[in-house]
Chains A and B, each alone.
Chain A
Amino acid sequence: MRHSFTIADRDHAVWLARAGAAYRLHVGGRSMSVSLEPAADGAGVLQFDGARHDVVMARDGDVTHLHIDGEAFAVRYTDPVRRHAGSSADAAEDVALAPMPGTVVAVNVQPGERVAAGQTLVVIESMKLETSIKAWREGSVAAVHVAKGDPFERSAPLVTLAPEARAR
């Protein structure tokens, strides 16, 4: 099973293998010899099939931030167990996630409240525009994760609806 990396929402499956003192990177059906010599303060030299490239790098958890050839990129590593966990399970479909970073303008519901499909749960503001986060199904509010005025990041949980018994 290859490792999973994401660049700009695109998945890439790679494997790194030892090749003596250096490594080989396997991507798709290709492979190339690679190594990385870190220098001071985030700078480094990436050796890629014999060619040398100056890079500036920084790590933040599973994300490698990289400046190469005049552009910055973020490459995210996803642990395989997490990567392959299904979305169908109980968790994901009961939570409204923030579509983008922003701040909460209004919270219209309280935990325990019954909501109808289409009812506004919270109003968020982002990019100077208001967006209503609406109930995607009928149900009861299990938790409200934000309060008015709170800033939040992309994909932050906003409201959780109580799981409903699914028809078999």
Chain B
Amino acid sequence: MTAPIHAFRTVLVANRGEIALRILRTVKALGLEGAIVHHAIDRDSPAVRAADKAHEIGGASPIAAYLDGAQIIAAARALGAQAIHPGYGFLSENAGFVRQVAQAGLIFVGPSPDAIELMGDKVRARAFATKHGFPVAPSAIEDDAPRTFLERARALGFPLLIKPAAGGGGKGMRIVRDAAALEEEIARARSEGERYFGDGRLYVERYVENPRHIEVQILGDAHGNVVHLFERECSVQRRFQKIIEESPSPALTPHERAEIATTARNIAKAAGYTNAGTVEFIYSSGKFYFLEMNTRLQVEHPVTEMVTGIDLVAEQLRIAAGARLSVSQSDIISSGHAIEARIYAESPGRGFAPTTGRVLELRAPRGEGVRFDCGIAKGQHVTAAFDPMLAKLIVHGTDREQACARLDSALRELVLLGCETNAGFLRRVIRHPAFAAGEVHTGFLDAHPEIAAEPPLPRELADKLLAAAALSTRAVRDAADAVPALHAAMGAWRN
């Protein structure tokens, strides 16, 4: 297998928000030209402003625009781009799109469509892992024998986890604890799978209670080199979505760490994987199972960048250009501790319901070891049209304790006004004794519902807020100023 050596000058970023901005940063740092597509709603976004060239795309909804491969390829041509970086989400794991990109004579910055198809189909991916002797959790796959699917699912025992075969990112996943609810939940999961992925096939897996989510970053080039960049632990989740990620995992012994990283590397090797990917495992009491492989740059990739000092996007572009990896396995050293906290437009106190609003003030936290990947700018509207993640705050410290302290103070320093975020909640998480002790698992937030609950406002703080609001509310000030001086001075006197 010989990969053609490509070279390109202009890279089109087919994404939006913080990841588009982050990719553009490296593209430009490498001396390349950065182009971007955008829906009208994002016209004034920082990513579009940062790009050298931009092209507007449309669709039935803003999301639909970013999912319209033909339009994006046409835009790439129009903008003179030779490569397309998909970021994460949208078309990043769409093999059909990757093939269209290739057919259009353009380079896709990511793995081959075959690898995407293999790993994108959770069922096939599991079969692949099993075949190669990698550890997987007990499961029932609908496609194996659709008629007996229900029976086989029941036979696994409860609780069960229903997953869409084509899924990812937690979409359409459902935990079933009660046998009676199984059928109905399967129907729901199927409907969601069809809507999100155009594919209603499902599989069911024995749900490991309170496991840790540990994943390993992989890079592979077209010359057969595959390296791992150590693990990230992403156990703090809400509704299967990661909130806090860190590296190294506080759970693993050095031996386990080496074992899990090597397993991941071997899986990627076995799959002939190129470009950046992440092998996800569930880990519980010393054992780990292969969960799935994400064939793209992960949201939480900066954690790995912070501990290894390697620019993953730069490596992706290098790999896509047909070059060799800039590092060998022995060059890759994990140093210190990095933690990422995802800033979401959501209300933890209201069941993490998304929030909306206009960004009225935005001040990034600064300081040593602090990185703020942010896709929004002052004046921008946060709508319900996209994923509610606004930004990522990543910190690095010599050890976990220092990293946590830096994250806490950076979260304090972050000013984002106009749209409620989970920043206060994130601080409660990292200051929680169990988190500080590294005792986390995917059910961490369910086990500690008090973290999500909005704490009662201390009276003095409430008074301060009311003072500031009262003083800056015209009607309130006018009412105070309207009272004649005599009566204001007399106060609430009664005879």
Q: Which A residues are within 8 Å of any B CB, using their own CB?
A: 3, 5, 7-8, 10, 12, 14-19, 23, 25, 27, 30, 32, 34-36, 42, 44, 46, 48, 53, 55-60, 62, 64-75, 77, 79, 99-103, 105, 126-128, 130, 149, 151-154
CB < 8 Å neighbour of A27 from B412, B427, B463, B491? B463
- Considering only CB atoms and an 8 Å cut-off, how many residues of chain B contact the other chain? 64
Q: Which of B121-152 contact A (CB under 8 A)?
A: none
In-complex Cβ contact of B417 among A15, A62, A65 (8 A): A65
In the assembly, what is the distance between CA of A19 and CA of B413, in Å? 34
Point out the residues of chain A lying under 8 angstroms from B469, CB to CB.
Answer: 5, 64, 66, 75, 77
Does the CB pair B415–A5 fall under 8 Å?
no
Fill in one digit per residue for B199-227: 1 if any A CB lies within 8 Å of its CB, else 0: 00000000000000000000000000000
Known: A8-B349, A149-B61. A60 touches B358 (CB 8 A): yes
Task: List residues of chain B with CB within 8 A of the CB of A101.
Answer: 353-356, 383-384
- Please tell me if the beta carbons of A152 and B384 are within 8 angstroms of each other in the complex: yes
- The answer on a CB contact under 8 Å between B470 and A70 is no
B473 touching A64 by the CB < 8 A rule? yes
Chain B residues whose C-beta falls within 8 Å of the C-beta of A15 in the assembled complex: 480
In the complex where A60-B357, A74-B420 touch, is A12 in contact with B480 (Cβ < 8 A)?
no
Nearest-Cβ distance from residue B119 to partner chain A, whole angstroms: 21
CA distance in complex: A100, B420 (Å): 13
In the bound assembly, the distance between CA atoms of A127 and B483 in angstroms comes to 48
17 contacts between A and B (CB under 8 A): A16-B477, A19-B488, A23-B471, A25-B467, A36-B472, A46-B464, A56-B417, A60-B358, A67-B417, A101-B354, A103-B61, A103-B384, A126-B384, A127-B353, A130-B191, A151-B383, A152-B384
Chain B residues contacting A42 (CB-CB under 8 Å) are 360-361, 417
Q: CA separation between A23 and B427, bound complex, in Å?
A: 34
Contact of A128 with B416 in the complex, beta carbons under 8 Å? no
The 10 A-B pairs with the shortest beta carbon distances in the complex, nearest first, are: A70-B412, A58-B360, A65-B417, A75-B469, A101-B384, A64-B469, A100-B353, A34-B467, A36-B471, A16-B480
A-chain residues with CB within 8 Å of residue B383 when the two chains form the complex: 101, 151
Bound CA–CA A46/B353 (angstroms) = 31
Which residues of A sit under 8 angstroms from B170, Cβ to Cβ? 128
**For residue B191, which residue of chain A has the nearest CB?**
A130
Whether a CB of chain A sits under 8 angstroms from the CB of B78 is: no
Given known A128-B171, A151-B383, contact A60–B354 (CB-CB < 8 A) = no
Q: Is B156 an interface residue (CB 8 A)?
A: no
Query: In the docked arrangement, what's the CA distance between A53 and B94, Å?
Result: 51
Q: Per-position contact with A for B366-383: 1 when CB-CB < 8 Å, else 0?
A: 000000000000000001
In the complex, A71 Cα to B455 Cα: how many Å?
12
Chain A residues whose C-beta falls within 8 Å of the C-beta of B491 in the assembled complex:
17
Q: Is the CB of A57 within 8 A of B477?
A: no
Minimum CB–CB distance for A114 against chain B, Å: 27
Let me know if B352 is at the binding interface, CB within 8 A.
yes
- Determine the distance from Cα of A62 to Cα of B352 in the docked complex, in whole angstroms: 24
- Is there contact, CB below 8 Å, between B467 and A32? yes
Chain B residues contacting A25 (CB-CB under 8 Å) are 463, 466-467, 470
Whether A48 and B463, one on each chain, are in contact in the complex, defined by CB atoms closer than 8 angstroms, is yes
B415 and A72 form a contact (CB under 8 A): yes
In the assembly, what is the distance between CA of A69 and CA of B415, in Å? 11
Whether B159 is near chain A, meaning CB under 8 Å from some CB there, is no
Query: Judging by beta carbons under 8 Å apart, are A14 and B468 in contact?
Result: no
Measured between alpha carbons, how far is A10 from B461 in the docked complex, in Å?
A: 14
B463 closest partner in A (C-beta): A27
Tally the A-B contacts, defined by beta carbons under 8 Å: 181
Q: Judge whether B104 is part of the interface by a CB distance below 8 angstroms.
A: no
The answer, yes or no, to whether B411 is at the interface (CB within 8 Å) is: yes
Contact of B1 with A by CB under 8 A: no
Q: How far is the CB of A120 from chain B (nearest CB, A)?
A: 13
Residue from A5, A68, A153 in contact with B464 in the complex, judged by beta carbons closer than 8 Å:
A68
Q: Are B354 and A65 within 8 A (Cβ)?
A: no
Is B352 in contact with A58, judged by CB distance below 8 angstroms?
no
B476 on the A face (CB < 8 A): yes
Inter-subunit contact A12/B353 (CB<8 Å): no
The answer to whether B463 and A58 touch across the interface, beta carbons within 8 angstroms, is no
**Residue in contact with B475 in the complex, picked from A55, A56, A77, A100, CB distance below 8 Å:** A77
A82 to chain B, nearest CB (A): 11
Which of B350, B424, B470 neighbours the largest number of chain A CB atoms within 10 Å of its CB?
Answer: B470
Q: Does B457 contact A (CB under 8 A)?
A: yes
> How many Å lie between the Cα of A151 and that of B191 in the bound state?
20
| A125-B107 Cα distance, complex, nearest whole Å | 35
Q: A43: shortest Cβ distance to chain B, in Å?
A: 9
Interface centre among A10, A15, A16 (most CB of B within 10 A): A16
| CB of B79 to closest CB in A, whole Å | 27
B415 near A67 with CB under 8 A, answer: yes
A19–B195 Cα gap in the complex (Å)?
Answer: 61
A16 to B472, CA, bound (A): 11
Partner of A128, one of B61, B188, B239: B239
- Nearest residue (CB) in A for B169 is A128
Judging by beta carbons under 8 Å apart, are A151 and B466 in contact? no
A residues in contact with B437, CB < 8 Å:
none
Q: Which residues of B contact A57 (CB under 8 A)?
A: 361, 417, 468, 472
Whether a CB of chain A sits under 8 angstroms from the CB of B418 is yes
Q: Write the B13-26 contact mask toward A (1 if CB under 8 angstroms, else 0).
A: 00000000000000
Known: A56-B363, A74-B420. A153 touches B384 (CB 8 A): yes
* Any A CB within 8 A of the CB of B485: yes
Return A18 CB to nearest CB of chain B, in Å.
5
